[in-house]
A and B are shown apart, each in its own frame.
Chain A
Amino acid sequence: MTFQGYHRANGTVGTRNHVLVLPSVMCANHVVERIGRKLPDLITVQHPTGCSQVGVDFEQTKRTMAGFAANPNVAAVLVVGLGCETNESKALASEIAARGQRVEVIGIQESDGTTNTIARGIEIGAALLRDAAKHERRVAGFEHLILGTECGGSDTFSGITANPALGWAADRIVGEGGTVILAEIPELVGAEHLLAERADEAVARQLYELIARVEQRAAQMGVDMRYGNPTQGNIAGGLTTIEEKSLGCLYKGGTTPLREVVEYAMRPNERGLVVMDTPGQDIEQLTGMVAGGAQVVVFTTGRGTPTGSPIAPVIKVATNTAIFGRMRENLDVNAGSIVDGTRTLPEVGAEIFEWIVEAANGRKPAAEELEFRDFAINRIGPSF
């Protein structure tokens, strides 16, 4: 199997050809927004991070920004900084350049204010868009494809319809030489033994360590995870415990051996099934997987969610026919037909696989068509 993608200088292959404008710090958010307002073809993101952060928390924030900017779906990046931030914009730009990405950088203080910075940003943005337009799609093998998997707004049907169908498609991606990311570690608690059985000893140990971290955090806070996860919506949908949710979540990754465990926003080294350490919170998880190189994401949902990524197509799979009917504009595939008895699990799995290939070739799923561009970086320390 192959797809038609944008071959980047660093050997990666994109499924989109975006020009990204990224603030290195929240103080540059509005300047970035103003640049984007003038040039709507640019992809802009805003975030509340980049200053007064230290240690592993700062490193993770920086790694996420650099990874996101270097995702092969991005042709070039403009970093906009303030000038006095912890996440120094030129250092961030160097980090992005080191990953083989084309990057420009401007600063608000260095440009003597916002008016000049916006004008300069528009000028650079227009030039980057002109250059990006010269790139064309060419054939690429599945060894270049990293699929992110996600479930959000889960219900009891997630583990019966959409997640097993996504798992079917995930197995095909792996079979074709591609990579599949399974994430949201809190939603593996209680099901990790089933995944560990499919890993070598070292990888299994890393997986158990991630699970232990989650449970230690709950212990430190003295809380039952059930107060926050499963969420109120999950519970209303019939999910009773985190174990039950996890057992259903696990199906998304399919049935192939677990090859590697990576930190948040880290690009996998192995091909095949990989676990990434992300929270279950949808937007932080999505951002982490895309920063880790995922060029296409499949997102299953029972309660219905509009979430999309600024730079990667996110295909939505409904777990039940009722939500597929009610939120049709936000959803792409109906796996509810499996319990309705109108389609088999492999039939829905094959439809998801086809969607992945077509999305890689440029077809826009609902979230992309509707321009949902969610972005949030997972924080692991306080602001100082």
Chain B
Amino acid sequence: MSDTAQLDEGSGSTFTSVAAQRGPLALEAVSLHKDFGLGRHQRLHAVRDVSFRLYRGAVIALVGESGSGKSTVAKLLAGQEHPTSGSIVLDGEPVSLSSRRAFRRYKSKVQLVFQDPFASLNPAHTVHYHLKRPVVLQQGKAKRDVEQEIDALMTQVRLTPAEQFLGKYPHELSGGQRQRVSFARALAARPSVLLADEPVSMLDVSIRLEMLALLDDLCRHFQLALLYITHDIASARYLADEILVMYAGQIVERGPAEELTQQPAHPYTQLLVASAPDPDNLGSSLRQGTSRSGRPPEVASTALEGCPFSARCELAEDRCRQESPSLRQVSPVRSASCWRLEVAAPQVLAGRQGGKGGEKS
């Protein structure tokens, strides 16, 4: 795995992230690895060789099934876990979280929003307290300014009138309102990077869109670099500029959201897209009762050799089981890690300009 060619966006490669057009580079993950010990010399390779860049004002979506390592990536970036190897670069400087002070400074720049708004707010504290602490700790404002700042935050997440909500406890709020408080709390530190780990999956369908629109709005307004982690590739299509698809700890495909969802190249992405409910297809395979998917991998047992998806892939051949593929460029803005792209996605390769120029070595 260590000799796997690394996707290097800047130097030597023609790969460009579509998100780069939005704004300056904020946070960079460089070849992150994270292993967890399972006892008896077993290792779980939760994250393997993951690299990407977050740009200010852009939304990058990290899509994958549960157990694919997407939340571990968020924890690594948030500094809650230490990578086994690899590094994180914030605003051009490698991040070292050895001291508490460094960690706090990093926290003020990189904030995390959790999935469950019911669990991520302290039930014993009011909304006001939840917002006041980060404002005081991270911004060090004078007392009068603090209240002003809190009011501004509440307005930004559209919890108005603020007085009506500030005195309330989390249990007095609806799920959507709680998640808005979580957003406000994250923004209170004036971060440049926001990591949102399944921010809407616990919310009601009717308000999910509202929350995604709010996220999008906040991202543009504050020039946030947003990492949107989700298992719902359809919402990623609407919110994100670029989508990274993760499988068994690796990024298996990346590209502009619209292109990737409409013409998925990697067999796993194709399975993911095919599995999404399709209301237009009323006489679908589902009603006929035919299953077209396999089982997710037992990540712990997935060998380091070979493509992790090979066990479920219809196109897998001997090479797929022996050598692990690395991300290979299929267009200036897309890449996928699959040995059999010619078979899996001929139409994507056909659209590629300039022959094999993009292939990495």
Is the A/B pair a real complex? no
